[in-house]
Amino acid sequence: MGYLQNHQELRVDAGNLEPGTKTVIAVTLNYDPGTKLAGELVIARYAHGDDYHDIIRDRLRELGAFIHAETGADVAYRPAVDSAPLLERDQAQLAGLGWVGKNTMLIHPDRGSYTFIAELLVDFDLVEKPVEVPNRCGSCSACIDACPTNAIVGPYVLDARRCISYLTIELRGPIPRHLRPMIGERIFGCDICQEVCPWNSKSEPTNDPAFQTRESYTALNPEALLKMTQEEFSSTFRKSAIKRTKRRGLLRNAAVVLGNTRSDSALDTLIQTLHHESESLVRGHAAWALGQFAGPRPRAALAEQLNRESEPYVLEEIRYALESK
């Protein structure tokens, strides 16, 4: 997320991002497939279908072409969706598309918060100014109370370093050990602070074909993920936002989930991963997961790998796992 920090000056005023910008047309798009996955994987709702970056950028270009055709004016426009250093929730709030709630999400009173935000930066003024939607969080604190990692450190303030979404999607290295148990079964992203929000109980799932749950995901489970080759990963998550973690990130998350669920049927897969996986990040998390199981088998597998392992990070995870047993 360094691009946000490195471009602070661009973030509040879109004119700094695209010289000549006079208006930000902010839009939201419902991504809610309406269900959690039927299988064993818990994937954030926004990632059940196709990669929104490509889909929404194309649709924004269509909107730009439509404005050009309607007005006849030679308008310049630039599309942006979760790709530019813009404060998108604040832009959307200023555009009257909802309020930023205590969980830091943009919420619309009818459409809830399962929405992407995107913008078209244009070089003309709009005559009408939008009317802002008043904040309706009131005395509710359901999102703050439900967050498993206490990442919402106070109303409207999120410590991203504790957020499961950050830990499972953006973080490239090892997940801090003390936070792993709180991830539960979440393999990619987290929706808890939205699922408990009363403003999402009214919202309708989307019919948009791009954001329906992919059929192939219902057959997946964390064990199957841990066995995935690079080729299988690339084809399964082609044109999906999930490929952002790369194979090693997703397999790291799968190992954490198996350590949390501690199903005996996962032992063989975790041992195979510890002994044969080429990515040290994944071996390290498999070691941690084995440390969560009781009994002599995981201990023997850890001890065996202690003699074979050469990577200092994995050795450290193995020692921690053996000590904690």
Catalytic residues: 82
- Does 141 bind ligand SF4 (CB under 6 A)? Our answer is yes
The alpha-helical segments, DSSP class H, found in the chain are: 2-6, 8-11, 14-17, 52-71, 88-94, 142-146, 164-165, 180-183, 192-195, 222-226, 230-236, 246-261, 267-276, 280-291, 296-308, 312-323
From residue 55, alpha-carbon distances to 118, 193, 230, 247 in Å are 11, 26, 25, 23
Q: Please report whether residue 171 would count as binding ligand B12 according to CB under 6 A.
A: no
β-sheet bridge partners, residue 107? 99
- Provide, rounded to whole angstroms, the least separation between the CB of residue 232 and ligand B12: 24
Pattern of binders to ligand SF4 over 111-140, x per CB under 6 A?
--------------------------x--x
Say how far apart CA 114 and CA 105 lie, in whole Å: 9
Per-residue x/- mask for ligand B12, residues 151 to 170, rule CB under 6 A? -------x-x--x-xx---x
> Which positions from 57 through 76 interact with ligand B12, judged by CB under 6 A?
none
Question: Based on CB atoms, which residue is closest to ligand SF4, 192 or 318?
Answer: 192
Query: Which member of 12, 196, 210, 224 binds ligand SF4 (CB under 6 A)?
Result: 196
Among 91, 70, 96, 72, residue whose Cα is nearest residue 10? 91
| DSSP H or E segment with residue 27 | strand 23-30
Sole binder of ligand B12 in the list 86, 220, 289, 302 (CB under 6 A): 86
Q: Measured between alpha carbons, how far is 242 from 236 in angstroms, rounded to an integer?
A: 10
Residue 165 is a binding residue for ligand SF4 (CB under 6 A): yes
Contact partner, 283, from ligand SF4, ligand B12, none, Cβ < 5-8 Å per class:
none
The stretch near ligand B12 (CB under 6 A) out of 88-96, 225-233, 280-288, 304-312 is 88-96
In the list ligand B12, ligand SF4, none, the entry touching 81 (Cβ below 5 to 8 angstroms by class) is: ligand B12
The strand ranges marked E within 62-156 are 77-80, 99-100, 106-107, 115-122, 152-154
Whose Cβ is closer to ligand B12: residue 44's or residue 286's? 44
163 binds ligand SF4 (CB under 6 A): yes
Judged by CB under 6 A, the number of residues near ligand B12 is 30
Strand 186-188 relative to strand 42-43: parallel, antiparallel, unpaired? parallel
- 217 touching ligand B12, by CB under 6 A: no
Which is it for the CA torsion 11, 57, 113, 36, positive or negative?
A: negative
What sign results for the dihedral spanned by CA atoms 145, 152, 90, 119?
negative
DSSP H/E element including 29: strand 23-30
Q: Is position 152 an interface residue for ligand SF4 (rule: CB under 6 A)?
A: yes
Q: Which residues sit at the interface with ligand B12, rule CB under 6 A?
A: 1, 4, 12, 44, 46, 81-82, 86-90, 103-106, 113, 115-117, 158, 160, 163, 165-166, 170, 189-191, 193
Q: Which residues sit at the interface with ligand SF4, rule CB under 6 A?
A: 101-103, 137, 140-143, 147, 149, 151-152, 158, 163-165, 190, 192-193, 196-199
